[in-house]
């Protein structure tokens, strides 16, 4: 059987499930449906995600609330929304993604929405002033790795990691690692 022989409903389902981009359908911030790319991006099985609140995919409750408030204000006047933010994989790894949304219910924007997500591997918030090495170090820092662990992963000395960390902190205007992580996660 070829795709031309499939009924429209089956073709629509195949188009959604096998799309080459991560797609999620939500209602009031509860996950209704996800495709295969969502499973690959976040590390959760479809069965474990569907029916759950999207809070599961955020590094913190504060981040979840802050971004939800921002969406709500934006969607009151526009049907589409886009931003870049940190989200969290099942294994706890924090990743930087571009999120795009479209409400299918303009009168009540969160009632029914379609989302796409793109993993932005080489970017962090306010990263325009950071070098590529600093961006890589920042990704490891936000995931809780020590200078020694970062150095081993990147093939550089822990001292070099510390130099990059200090430069990142100076450029982003923070005074310690906790502020750095908070700035990187909450600022998104």
Angstrom distance (rounded) from CA 112 to CA 119: 23
pLDDT digits (tens, 9 = 90+) for 1-49: 444 565 667 656 777 888 999 999 999 999 999 999 999 999 999 999 9
| pLDDT tens-place string over residues 62-91 | 878 888 887 887 787 888 888 878 889 999
Residue 159 neighbours by CB distance under 10 Å:
10
Residues 139 and 106 in one domain: no
Asked if 94 and 134 sit in the same domain, the reply is no
Q: Indicate if 180 and 157 belong to the same structural domain.
A: yes
Predicted confidence (pLDDT) per residue in 107-157, tens digit: 888 899 999 999 987 554 554 577 878 878 887 888 778 899 999 988 999
Q: Are residues 144 and 114 in the same domain?
A: no
Among 135-139, 166-170, 180-184, where is mean pLDDT lowest? 180-184
Range of the structural domain that residue 104 is part of: 3-119
d(CA 101, CA 152): 38
For tokens 């479809």, the residue is 46
Integer CA distances (angstroms), 116 to 81, 146, 186, in order:
11, 32, 21
* CATH number for 166: 1.10.10.10
For residues 78 and 101, membership in a common domain is answered with yes
pLDDT at 51 over 50: yes
Let me know whether 89 and 135 are in one domain: no
In the chain, the number of structural domains is 2
Q: Could you count the other beta carbons within 10 Å of the beta carbon of residue 133?
A: 16
Residue 1's pLDDT is 47
Identify whether residues 66 and 139 lie together within a single domain. Answer: no
CA–CA gap between residue 133 and residue 125 (Å, rounded) = 15
Among 72, 93, 119, identify where a domain stops. 119
Single out the residue of 138, 117, 140 nearest to residue 40, CA to CA.
Answer: 117
Q: Which one of 52-56, 91-95, 152-156, 166-170 scores highest in mean pLDDT?
A: 52-56
């Amino acid at each position: 059987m070829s795709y031309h022989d499939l009924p429209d409903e089956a073709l629509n389902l195949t188009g959604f499930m096998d799309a080459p981009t991560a797609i999620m359908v939500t209602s009031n911030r509860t996950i209704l449906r996800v495709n295969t790319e969502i499973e690959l991006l976040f590390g959760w099985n479809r069965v474990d995600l569907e029916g759950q609140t999207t809070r599961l995919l955020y590094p913190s409750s504060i981040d979840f609330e802050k971004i939800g408030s921002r969406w709500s204000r934006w969607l009151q006047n526009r049907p589409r929304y886009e931003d870049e933010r940190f989200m969290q994989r099942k294994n706890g790894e924090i990743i930087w993604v571009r999120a795009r949304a479209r409400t299918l219910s303009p009168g009540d924007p969160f009632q029914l929405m379609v989302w796409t997500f793109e993993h932005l591997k080489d970017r962090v918030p306010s990263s325009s002033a950071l070098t590529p090495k600093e961006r890589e170090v920042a990704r490891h820092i936000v995931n809780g790795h020590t200078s020694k662990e970062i150095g081993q992963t990147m093939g550089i000395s822990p001292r070099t990691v510390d130099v990059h960390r200090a430069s990142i902190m100076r450029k982003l205007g923070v005074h310690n690692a906790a502020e750095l992580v908070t700035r990187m996660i909450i600022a998104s």
